[in-house]
Amino acid sequence: MSLSLFSLEGKVALVTGSGQGIGLAMAEGLSEAGAHVVLNGRDEAKLEAAQKAIAVAGRKVSIAAFDVTDQAAVDAGIAAIEADTGAIDILINNAGMQKRGAFTEYAAADWHQVVATNLHSVFYVTQAVTKGMVARNRGKVVNIGSVMSELGRPTIVPYTATKGAVKMMTRGLAAELGKHNIQVNAIGPGYIVTELNKALIADETFSAWVRSRTPAGRWGETKELVGAAIFLSSAASDYVSGHLLMVDGGLTAAV
């Protein structure tokens, strides 16, 4: 009985930025839990490869290639998903990027790109999706924050600013949309092994710092975010909203 709370059978889930890495891992996990997963990104070739990998197991998966930083493209993309696949029950806002640089020399163009990708996209996609959720009086929204929603590090001030904003947008949305039976939460990944982190992983000095700073003593794996994603997307979290669930090996709990 209790395990049925985590079932996503009959649900449609949109995961942005799901052509690879964390987004793909969470999409695979939701599909294993029974959801029809819609993969989103700008690279259609990556999306098609991910779709084939998930479909091999006989799971329901489709793709919707559009730019989440373009509001018109988002509105058209969401409308197409709901017309072709069905009402979106679960939204995971995962699309994001990082550009490092000294703050005093940071280019304004790079600032705007990071903010558009990490923050504007969450506004555009969530607004487009929750209009339907409000009308149906149900829905789950999961935003992907970061340990940098709570902490700071040199050379990533724009990223930290956006992830802090995602945390507060999560709380604001939870407060506003709760009366419509919509739960809005966030996941805060720690240092996770992904393609985008290859250079950091290869830097032994940095990797040694991650291992020493993280109580678990290691980098995390993308698969270790799946349980949190399923929980926050399922009936198991129906009375959980406005929460930032850290999946960081204890990093934010330790000094």
Token output for 46: 């990556």
CA dist 5 → 25, 89, 175 (Å):
21, 15, 24
Of these residues, 124, 159, 191, 239, which one is catalytic? 159
Catalytic residue at 159? Answer: yes
> Are the CB atoms for 94 and 16 separated by under 8 Å?
yes
Sheet of strand 61-65, all strands in order from the earlier edge strand to the far edge: 61-65, 36-41, 12-15, 90-93, 139-144, 182-189, 244-247
> Are the CB atoms for 229 and 13 separated by under 8 Å?
no
CA dist 63 and 9 (Å) reads 19
CA dist 233 → 34, 173, 220 (Å):
11, 16, 21
Give the H/E segment covering residue 29: helix 21-32
Cα dihedral: 211, 214, 219, 225 (round 10): 180
Q: Active-site residues: which are they? A: 159
